[in-house]
Structures are given as C-alpha cells and as structure tokens.
C-alpha cells in the first residue's frame, strides 16, 4: 500500500505557526479514504450500496510539531478486523523520518437504517482482504 502524503496548508496552522491538533484527525480521514480506494473498496462504492462506516473511537499521540509547508506521510495499518469492528493505526512522519503523530481509529459498517452490516457474510472478498492486511 502506498503511503498517503499531505502538505500542511497555511490555514491549518495556529497563531504560533504550528499545525493545529484537529487537522491530524482530518488527515487520518483523507488517508483512510485513499487507503480504501487503493484496496478497491472506496467509500463512494460503499455509500452507493447504502453502507456507511462511522468512526466509533479515535486517539492521537502528537510526537513532533509540523508547520506550513511541511510534508506529512501517513501509513495505515489494519490492527484488527473480525467483520464488525475495524481497528486502524496511523503513523505520520515528516520528510526527515520524524514521527509526528501516532493515532488509532475504530469503525463499524452500518446500513442506511443504522443496523450493523455483517461484512463477512455480505462482502466476503472485502472481509478476506482486510484480514490479510491485519498486522498484530
């Protein structure tokens, strides 16, 4: 899988010139959408089938500051997937290899009525693909 790359925008910085912490969560979403597209199971395709994947938990550990116009590379690891809850880990690094943020997110898959979608049963190819990517 290719890492997602984001260039820090001027408007993403705070008064001190550092990237505001909330932007890292946005970058996680950008990277996750890119990750799913690379898998061939993009969010648009899921939404067209009436499936959404809300965030159920998120955490970030900020390790090193970034500023405009730093480049941040985001690598995603699948930590757990048993068909209902998807746990992802993100490692964000700058061009010098410094880890700027380590983060985690958890997601589920719901239908348009808010009921859990059993991915293993309804989308076995997607289930198998994600399970092959699990890194413990």
Is residue 136 predicted with pLDDT exceeding 90? no
- Predicted TM-score (pTM) of the model is 0.94
How many whole angstroms separate alpha carbon 52 and alpha carbon 45? 10
Supply φ then ψ for residue 118, to 5 degrees: -85, 95
Q: Is 3.40.50.920 the CATH number for 4-132?
A: no
What is the 3 state secondary structure string of the chain?
A: CCCEEEECCHHHECCCCEECCHHHHHHHHHHHHHHHHHHCCCHHHHHHCCCECCEEEEEEEECCCCECCCEEEEEEEEEEECCCCEEEEEEEEECCCCEEEEEEEEECCECCCCCECCHHHHCHHHHHHHHHCECC
Per residue in 37-64, pLDDT tens?
999 999 999 899 999 999 999 999 999 9
Q: What is the pLDDT of residues 97-132, one digit of tens each?
A: 999 999 999 999 999 999 999 999 999 999 999 999
Cβ neighbour number for residue 41 with a 10 Å cutoff: 15
Q: Give the per-residue pLDDT at 17.
A: 96
pLDDT at 71 over 90: yes
Distance CA 62, CA 121 (A): 38
* pLDDT digit string, tens, across residues 26-38: 999 999 999 999 9
Token code pair at residue 56: 């159920």
Q: Which two tokens stand for residue 72?
A: 């941040």
């Amino acid at each position: 899988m290719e890492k997602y790359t984001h260039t820090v925008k001027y408007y993403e910085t705070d008064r001190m010139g550092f990237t505001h912490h909330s932007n890292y969560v946005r970058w996680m979403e950008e990277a996750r959408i890119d990750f799913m597209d690379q898998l061939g199971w993009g969010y648009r395709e899921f939404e067209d089938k009436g499936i959404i994947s809300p965030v159920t938990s998120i955490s970030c550990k900020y390790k090193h500051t970034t500023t405009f116009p730093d480049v941040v590379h985001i690598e995603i690891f699948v930590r757990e997937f048993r068909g209902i809850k998807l746990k992802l880990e993100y490692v964000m690094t700058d061009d010098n290899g410094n880890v700027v943020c380590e983060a985690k997110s958890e997601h589920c898959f719901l239908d348009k009525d808010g009921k859990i979608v059993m991915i293993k049963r309804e989308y076995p190819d997607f289930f198998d693909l994600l399970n092959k990517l699990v890194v413990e």
